[in-house]
Amino acid sequence: MGFPWSLVFRLLKSAGKEWIRSDFSNGNGSTTGPGADPALVDLVKTTRTHQEAISRLTDDVKTLNQQVQLLIKLVQWLIILIATALLIAIIWLFTN
């Protein structure tokens, strides 16, 4: 079952353009504008909470991605180092 977009659009329409404009323009989390629908107020608060959580998760994923890339480079260098050591050992065995 999908997200109830029709309910969201209905709530946005019933709240009135003035309240939405004042709520999103001041950026201080005000939900007391004229014509504020309590369901829309809850939706806005929940959406902001989710947006903040998504932002934190996005930052965490970026950090994790950087760490994984660093680990991959480290493993690659370790493989090169082991292969070089084995090659040197094989050459040394056949020359002595």
Domain borders along the chain are 5-95
CB 35 within 8 A of CB 19: yes
Give the mean model confidence (pLDDT) for residues 84-91: 96
pTM of the predicted model as reported, rounded to 2 decimal places: 0.48
Read off the pLDDT of residues 29-86 as tens digits, 9 standing for 90 and up.
445 566 566 777 777 778 888 888 888 889 999 999 999 999 999 999 999 999 999 9
Residue 84 dihedral angles phi and psi, to the nearest 5°: -65, -45
Report d(CA 33, CA 53) in Å as an integer: 25
Helix (H/G/I), strand (E/B), else coil: 62: helix
| CB within 8 Å of 8: residues ≥ 6 apart | 43
Helix (H/G/I), strand (E/B), else coil: 8: helix
CB 42 within 8 A of CB 8: no
